[in-house]
Structure 1
Amino acid sequence: MPLTDQTAPAGSEVLRLQQVDKTFNAGTPLASQVLHDINLRLCRGELAALIGPSGSGKSTLLNLIGLLDTPSSGELYLLGQPTRNSDDATRTALRNQAIGFVFQFHHLISAFSVLENVLMPLMIHHGKPSRAERQLALELLAEVGLADLAERRPTQISGGQQQRVAIARALVTRPPLLLADEPTGNLDSRSAQGIFELFRRVNQQLGCAILVVTHDQQLASSCQRIIQLSDGHIVADGPS
């Protein structure tokens, strides 16, 4: 199958957070600690849901994991590399190498075709994609059920199909970690279930670690593991 990947064995560690805290406005009267002593490990082949009420710290935690922000204390390891004290260039390079992002809003570019949107991360990094890269993008579109829509514009396909394009785009760099932030938030229940089935298939075939932030308890239970945040603490972490 086109998504099969043997670059790292299943079960190898992708992400580790060790005693991570996050405080905003530290050292001022407005200081607010949002995350407290977060210890978390994700390995290749894991499909985990991150749940919790609004204000529990999910977005802050996801920003840390995505290297879009840094911990106030503790350490975050990505592919075994400590990141807290890394400079911006190092963090950007590691993010591009290791992480794919899928958001609630797919952020496709309407002026480009579906295929060109999937290729966009590669085009940003090194210009015109190679024949092999175009073939990979087409295989990913086939895997998400959109092989026949490669030349359509995003405005010519449904919301669920657009989210599938966004997933293919996130996978085109073959990242060992896929982060999905409320990826079904704008979809009807049938389309949402289809997206989660796609995550499971990608997880099994590519073997990347997938962390899905969701408010939908039913969809969270479709994951192998549920991590629950409350008031900035991990209060539960185990099989669904």
Structure 2
Amino acid sequence: MSEQDNLVLRLAGLRKSYNVGKPNELEVLHGIDMQIGAHDFAALVGPSGSGKSTLLNMIGLLDAPTAGELYLLGRPTARMSDAERTALRGAQLGFVFQFHHLIQAFTSIENVLMPLMLTQGKPSSEDREHAMDLLAEVGLHDYANVRPSELSGGQQQRVAIARALVTRPALLLADEPTGNLDTKAAAKVFDLFRRFNKAYNCAVLIVTHDQRLSAACDRSINLVDGRIVSDESNLRS
């Protein structure tokens, strides 16, 4: 397998502007070139206002670039229709946020199954078995029929991680995933990401302000004023 074949994500000259064609047009991403391989475990870091959220929205196919191209599993996406991007996002991307956005009326397993329910309707027995396996992986097998209001913040975050992985995504995007957790719970979440990165062959990109978290990743990508100023390995030879 070539290095190109091993790529999950490739950004080529990615630019994003707002108010295009108006006197107050503002470009916030200035030609981003970046690659994420199938086994990568990387952190995207940078000060507030550097463009991290905008870039994450591009990578997550939630917004289209103004110029340049984003390839997901080799597929160019910039000119895809909204429906095409939605389908690709649902099949190949998993999302974990600082705030878990669980549906309060649903049980843990129903929340985990939600991405599959949105794309294919009623989940199959195999889907439910997979969801239960994921809940077991995050230590919540016995909480499958419990609603979010009965779970701690750390437990809710683990349900959200299981939900993000239920579609077996090629790339997991985590936006400040430990920002509202205590040190112990944050360490557990990080360990889960590590385990899934290896066990599920799922590339991981974590957006974080936490220097300790970014240093624990294999790679740190530093974004400043809409430009990547460094992309360094944290691995010691």
Distance 1:125 1:81 in 2: 20
Q: Partner of 1:91 in structure 2?
A: 85
Return the offset for 1:151: 1.1
Matched, 1:134 2:128: yes
- Equivalent of residue 159 in structure 2, options 162, 165, 170: 165
Return the offset for 1:126: 1.6
Secondary structure of the residue that 2:33 maps to in structure 1?
A: strand
Give the letter for the 1:145 counterpart: G
Give the letter for the 1:74 counterpart: G
Runs of 4+ in 1 over 6 A off after TM superposition: none
Q: Partner of 2:146 in structure 1?
A: 152
Give the letter for the 1:98 counterpart: Q
Distance 1:158 1:199 in 2: 19
Secondary structure of the residue that 1:221 maps to in structure 2?
A: helix
Secondary structure of the residue that 2:69 maps to in structure 1?
A: strand
Distance 1:119 1:28 in 2: 43
Q: Partner of 2:192 in structure 1?
A: 198
Give the letter for the 1:219 counterpart: L
CA displacement, residues 63-104 of structure 1 (integer Å, 9 cap, x when unaligned) = 000111111111000111101111111111111111011111
Contact preservation (8 Å) 1:196, 1:222: no
Return the offset for 1:23: 1.1
CA displacement, residues 99-158 of structure 1 (integer Å, 9 cap, x when unaligned) = 011111101111111111101111111221111000000000111111111111111111
Matched, 1:186 2:160: no
Return the offset for 1:39: 0.3
TM-score between the two structures when normalised by the length of structure 2:
0.95
What value does the CA root-mean-square deviation take over the aligned residues? 1.2
Q: Partner of 1:20 in structure 2?
A: 14
Contact preservation (8 Å) 1:76, 1:82: yes
Return the offset for 1:45: 1.3
Q: Partner of 1:52 in structure 2?
A: 46
Give the letter for the 1:45 counterpart: H
Distance 2:70 2:103 in 1: 32
- Equivalent of residue 170 in structure 2, options 173, 176, 183: 176
Give the letter for the 2:86 counterpart: T
Distance 2:70 2:118 in 1: 26
TM-score between the two structures when normalised by the length of structure 1:
0.94
Q: Which ranges in structure 2 are unaligned for 5 or more consecutive residues?
A: none
Return the offset for 1:44: 0.8
Identity %: 61
Q: Partner of 1:215 in structure 2?
A: 209
Q: Partner of 1:102 in structure 2?
A: 96
How many residues were matched structurally?
231
Return the offset for 1:27: 1.5
Q: Partner of 1:123 in structure 2?
A: 117
Give the letter for the 2:152 counterpart: S
Distance 1:171 1:84 in 2: 25
Q: How does 1:61-76 map to 2 (within 5 A)?
A: 61-76=55-70
Q: Partner of 2:232 in structure 1?
A: 238
Distance 2:126 2:139 in 1: 20
